[in-house]
Structure 1
Amino acid sequence: MADALRPQMTRATASIVRRVQDAVPEHAAADGTRRHRLFIAAARAAAQVFLDGAARRPEHAQQVDEIFRGLGYAQGRREGSRESMDAAMHAAMQCSWRYLADFAVDHDLSSAALRELADALFDFLAHLHRLLGEGFDLAQDARGRDPGAARVRLFRLLRGTADRSAPGHAHRLDERELRDLAELARWPLPARVVALAIGHDHDAPAIPPSPNLLIQAHPGHVLVVCPAEMHAPFVQQIMRSSSGPRIARSWPVTVVETGAALRWCQRALDLVRAGVIPPTPVIDCAEHATQLWLHAESSLRRHLCQQVLRPLLAEPANSRAILSETLLAWAETRESARALATRLGVHPQTVRYRWKRINELLGDSLRDPDVVLQMTLVLKASVPLWTKGDQSDFDLARVN
């Protein structure tokens, strides 16, 4: 029977690999890719050894053992899950057995021979499964001793942290895991850190290696976690050594607030690109905390804008621009028409005319302190966007 199966081995192994990749998305790979070819080669080698063993010719068993141990090792090194590896092996076992059972029935194999075939197949697949596990465990152990891998995991842990003062927040920093990873990563755990987002248009800035820095590169920006006492000279060094980077930096925070601080810095770079924050070389998040807060949830800003400024949004573009500028100046200062005129660079009578139109549009809302506060916040967040040409608020007003 082993000899009869050999001519069909190519088609059978391709079917088994396809079944595994359909069943377990983590192992999916397009036909012809290196990953797909690797799986096909492993399946064919395993089938060859199984058939050789059935025919008492196990010449290539050691090679297959190394292949499957290597597959498990690769899964562990790429931080894949053991569960997906187990699921892949289960799918391979089901597909292999169905194929062999159908073949046995077509060739009138006796029930005793079929039981013997089943025992041999399941023993062999269990052996391959153990090899995958051995390789996976070896990779996990190696990763645990690798400072570079530990730093990647440490950065991921810190990015996922939330302000522990937030009541009922689902994510909490595991302090024991933090200490263990910091030790493995050889990162001296600081009392306070400063988060940095370094934006660049072309090549990423050269950052000198330092055991005190945690670094994660992304397209268009690099994230850095730096001990608070070291961040000022580090920023100066980056500005001197690179051409045209833009650095957003947080205020000093505790380690458990690192994830929030990194989000502030990334948002600051986004707001510079949107024209909300001036494009200075170094952006201090502390100086723009209100804008960072107001733009933390764009859909909520848009909703509040529709709610408190709807009559203003319906004005023609030129009228809307000058009225919103005047309303914001009044909301921020509550000054007289003459003082507002000086601030805006127009004649006091112009301010009075604008204010008359604002009253016609917003009426009693201007005498409600809560609504005025909401208007102030929405205008501070929205006027810079409107000035840069963002039309989304007005488009939404027309739809609604």
Structure 2
Amino acid sequence: MTDDELSIPADVADAMRAELPSVAEQTVAAIVVEVPSYADAFGGDMGATIENAVQLALGGFLELASAGGAGDASTPIKPALDGAYALGRGEARSGRSMDALLGAYRVGARVSWRHMAASAVAAGLGVEQLARFAELVFAYIDQLSAASVAGHSDELATSGRVRERYLERLANQLLAGAPREDMLAAAERADWSTPRTLTAVILPEARVRGALASLDARTLRSTEEVPGLASSGDLVVLLVPDAEGRSRPALVRSLREREAVVGPARPWAEVHSSYARALRALHLGLTVDGPEPLDTEGRLADLVLRADETALGDLRAQVLAPLAGLGPGAREKLTETLRSWLLHHGRREAIAAELFVHPQTVRYRMGQLRELYGNRLEDPRTVLELTLALGVPPVTA
């Protein structure tokens, strides 16, 4: 076949071009029937817009096919290609996958080919030229499909990055305790449904991906640096929705082996207080044994007692002053006996079992303590102060 045989004669192209409005109308009608998800989208004014787009695409093809061999279907004209790309981006913005659009392309190719081929044969196009014409039609549709796929992918990538930035900004505002109106506006901008509560979780950055796999999809991640810690650059704050009440054990279990610190659940707009609690636990150096996360709800007494570590140290020194004149060994034994006596409400057998000593040893030591403290061990205020001072061991460097 020569180059001349690769192009559609001008008179045939003119005849086919005259049929384009009808072909476009029938193509859209077929798509509505065979691709139901477009039934509403192609209705009304949108239907007319789509018909015009189909005419543009088919008209572009006819220009290409009648170009006397100067072009080919691998390089469709720019307006049609740009239109297909924009169509793909529009599908992504509408939240639809490419399945429906590619289905529409397949239907459109079949219907338009059938009608355009009939027009071409009626206008005198030869058999060999008709076969070549079919190749060009479907190659052209493939190019339009590829342009739409590219547009769809680009839109998803762009919108995904934009939304990710919006979500990060929202998380940062929540941690900063921004005005509620500002946070509501940020949530709307990020297309984020506000939950009942949020729980702040601080964990190493290396553990974040594994944790997110088992957390609510609405979980937010802050980009703010965790303040006041030497290793803060390696820590990340997650805000987990609706993990209160019966859901909290599941959250704690999902964070096993993640080296996480879990704050309390708070109303979503007040999650900055959950973050403050988790951060406080980190600053105080509270730890847990084994793979479990540090659940601040289980360490409230420690957090209260260590809210002012200096004051606690002063209180401990003050209430243990009667023991100051003893040697280190005796002072340690009487201190641990006093702590156990307070925690076990004076039950001698329980104290002996905890300290691994004979009950008579407990009786002897308590006799020593009563000599040192006198009747102050019966004073509720002294008992409270001793309990606070000895309820948790002192922090060691």
TM-score, normalising length: structure 1:
0.48
Which entry has the higher C-alpha Rg, 1 or 2? Answer: 2
